[in-house]
Amino acid sequence: MSFSKLLIANRGEIAVRIIRACKELGIRTVAVYSEADARAMHVRLADEAYPIGPAPAPESYLKVERFVEAIEKSGAEAVHPGYGFLSESADLARAVEGAGAIWVGPPPEAMEAMGLKAKAKQIARRADVPTVPGYDGSDDSEKGLAEEAERIGYPIIVKASAGGGGRGMRAVARPRDFLEALRGAKREALSAFGNDSVLLEKYVENPRHVEVQVVGDNHGNVVHLYERDCSIQRRHQKVIEEVPSPALDPELREEMCAAAVRLAREAGYRNAGTVEFLLQGEEYYFLEMNTRLQVEHPVTERVTNLDLVQLQLAVAAGEPLPVSQEEIALRGSAIEARIYAEGEGGLPAGGRLLAFAPPGGPGIRNDVGVESGDEVSVHYDPMISKLIVFAANREMAVRRLRRALEDYTILGIPTNLPLLRRIAEHPVFVAGETATDFLEKHRLAEPPVEIPVPEEAILLAAAGELISGRASAEPFAAGPWRHLGSVRLRYRTGEAEHWVEAERLGSNTFRLQLEEGESVVEVLAFRDGEMHAALDGNPVRAGFVLDGLEVRLSLHGVVYELFKPRPPTVDEVGLGGADAGGASLTAPMPGTVVKVLVSVGDEVEEGQPLFMVEAMKMEQTVAAPHAGTVRALPFAEGAVVPGGAVLAELEAT
C-alpha cells in the first residue's frame, strides 16, 4: 500500500468499520471527534485522535478546514470520508488532495457531475442507460416547465437537480397542482442546496429501489458487485437492504449490472460507487449515482466475499483491482437491518445505552459503533448499528433475521427493533414482494396497540431484582403464603399492577407466585445487562437493567418497562409500637442490618430511606413512614437482629 496512515473523516459504526479494515492491512488510523464524541468507540479504537470542534455537525464533522488541520497535525497520507457528512463533497476531496493526501473516493469531477441530476442523466443517456422520461433542459420558466409536464403526461414528479434523499421533490397528479408543486420544490431546493434548478420526470408509481455496486481503479478496470434491493424505506431512510433482489432474474440482473458499469466508465468513475435504479416490472431507469461507500455495503461483502473498504484503499493507492469481473460471484443471500435509536413514531432518540448486546451465531455480522454505557447523541444520525444476516438462500436468511432480531438486546433508549420484527414477520416481506410503499401500505410504521406485559417478563423482572441483591422488596408475612422469608415485589405496567410473592429456595433459585400460578426460576447467569434463567425448567434469555425505580427487560426482542413503587415505609413494613406521636420500626423477620443511612437526632422526611436490612439473602430498604426526628437506633451496621426487634424510633415533627 502506498500509504501507511489514514484519517477517517467520520464517526460511529462506519469509522469503526474502516479502522478495523486498516488494522488488518497494517495502516495506522487517525480519528477525529467532536466534543460529544470524546469517548466514542471510534476514538477508542484509532491509533490517534484529534478534536475538531463542538457537537453540532456544522461546527465539526462538516468543516473542511478541520480535516485539513487534522491531516497536517497527524501526517495522515490518505483520507476516507465514510458515508454521510462530507463523503460526497468535491470540496473536501479537493482540499484533501490540496493538502497532499490521497482521497479514498472518486475523482472530484465525477462527484460533481453526479451531484447534479441533469448532468448525471446526460451521462447515463450517453452510456445508453435507460433514464425516466422527462425534461432536464435549460428552460426554467414556469410556462415552459408546465408545457413540458403536459408533454411528459401526468402523473409527474418535480425534483431538485442538486437534491437527494427526497428533499426538493414533489409528485404531481394533475396539471392544476403543477405550479404550486414547482414553487414548493424550488423553495425547498434553494434553502437546502442553495440551488433552485429542477427537472421533471414521469412519475413511476410504486417502484422498487434496486442499486448496483461498482468499483473502478486507475487502470481502466470497472467491475460491478451485483445489486442491492433497498425498497423498504421510511421517509427516504432505508430500513432493510438485501441481495440478491427478489425482483431480478439472471438476465435482468446481468443487464442492469452491465448498464451500471457502462455508466461508471462514461463518468470516468474510480473507487466505489453505487448506481441507483427504479425498477417497475421489467423496466428499469437510472435514478442517480452515489459517489461514496454506502451504509448497506456489508450485504454485498457477504455475497461476494470481498471487502469493499480494502478494495477502496487498494485502488486509492493506485493498485489495480485485485479481482476480475469473472471472478466475482454472487453466493447466498444477505439481508441488512438498520438499527435506529428512535421512538415508535420514528423520531430520533438519544440517551445512555444501559445494555447493548447484539446477537451472535453463524451467518451474523454486527457493524456497531456503540457499547453498553455509551451515550447516544441526538446531534448525529440515529443509526447506531447494523445487523447483517447471511444464509444459503433467502428463506433461510429471513429465518435467521427473525432469530437474530429476537436475540438483540438494547435497553435504555428506544429503537426501531419492534418495527424490524414486524417487517421480518410480514408475509409480503417473506414473499419478497416489497416495493417502496411497503411500510405505508401495510401500516407497519404505525405503533401497534400496546403489547401487554407477559407473565414471563414479570417473573424474570422479579428474579433479576432478587439476584442482583438490589430488590426493594416488602417483607411479606400475611395471606395463604405466609412463611418467614417471603417477600413481595410490586410492579406497575401501564395501567396494571402486579404482585410477585417470592421465596428463596437456594442461592440462585426462587419460588415466585404471580396471580394464580406458581413458578420456580433459577438464574443461571446474570451480568452485563443480561440474564439467563430456567423458568420452570425452560431456558430463557432476557436483557435486564434496573434503572432507579424502573426495571427494563427485553424478552424475545421486545422491551418491557416495569415500574416499582418507592421503597416501603415502616407503616407498610408493619411495625408495632406506633402511637400518636411516633413510630418504632421493628424487623419483620430475622436479618442483618447492612447499612444505616441516618443518625440519632437526624430530621428525616417521609419516604426517606433509613436503613437497609438483609434477610434470606435479599436486601430491603426501610423508609420513614412520616417526617420526624430519629430518636433511637439500637442496631449498628452489621448487627444481626432477631425478628420483631425494634430497629428505630421516630418522633413525628
Chain positions contacting ligand MV4, by CB under 6 A: 132, 157, 166, 201-204, 207, 209, 233, 236, 278, 287-288, 436
- Which residue lies nearer to ligand MV4 by CB, 278 or 585? 278
- Which residue lies nearer to ligand MV4 by CB, 91 or 283? 283
Cis bond upstream, residue 107 (ω within 30): no
Joined together, the cell numbers standing for residue 407 give 436475540
Closest CB 224 distance from ligand MV4, rounded Å: 20
- Which residue lies nearer to ligand MV4 by CB, 132 or 149? 132
Q: Are the beta carbons of 527 and 544 closer than 8 angstroms?
A: no
Closest CB 506 distance from ligand MV4, rounded Å: 56
Closest CB 250 distance from ligand MV4, rounded Å: 23
Question: Smallest Cα–Cα separation from 544: which of 620, 474, 457, 450?
Answer: 457
- Which residue lies nearer to ligand MV4 by CB, 120 or 261? 120
Q: State the Cα–Cα distance between residues 91 and 269, nearest whole angstrom.
A: 17
* Cα torsion through 179, 182, 186, 189, rounded to 10: 150
Closest CB 132 distance from ligand MV4, rounded Å: 4
Closest CB 127 distance from ligand MV4, rounded Å: 19
Q: Is 127 exposed, middle or buried, given 0-12, 13-18 or 19+ CB atoms closer than 10 A?
A: middle
Sign of the alpha-carbon torsion through 187, 190, 195, 199: negative
- Which residue lies nearer to ligand MV4 by CB, 231 or 377? 231
Contacts of 492 (CB under 8 A, 6+ apart): 498, 562, 563, 564, 565
The residue to which cell 436490612 is assigned: 613
Closest CB 167 distance from ligand MV4, rounded Å: 9
Sign of the alpha-carbon torsion through 315, 319, 320, 324: negative
Closest CB 462 distance from ligand MV4, rounded Å: 45
Please spell the DSSP secondary structure of 573-622, one letter per residue.
Answer: H--S--BTTEEEEE-SSSEEEEEE---TT-EE-TT-EEEEEEETTEEEEE
SS (HEC) of 54-112:
CCCHHHCCCCHHHHHHHHHHHCCCEEECCCCCCCCCHHHHHHHHHCCCEECCCCHHHHH
Q: Name the catalytic one among 66, 228, 262, 292.
A: 292
* Cα torsion through 161, 163, 168, 173, rounded to 10: 60
- Which residue lies nearer to ligand MV4 by CB, 288 or 619? 288
Backbone angles phi, psi at 78, to 5 degrees: -155, 160
Q: Are the beta carbons of 417 and 239 closer than 8 angstroms?
A: no
Active-site residue flag, 292: yes
- Which residue lies nearer to ligand MV4 by CB, 276 or 501? 276
Sign of the alpha-carbon torsion through 87, 91, 94, 100: negative
Q: Is 429 exposed, middle or buried, given 0-12, 13-18 or 19+ CB atoms closer than 10 A?
A: buried
H-run or E-run covering 51? strand 48-53
Closest CB 240 distance from ligand MV4, rounded Å: 12
Which residues are the active-site residues? 292
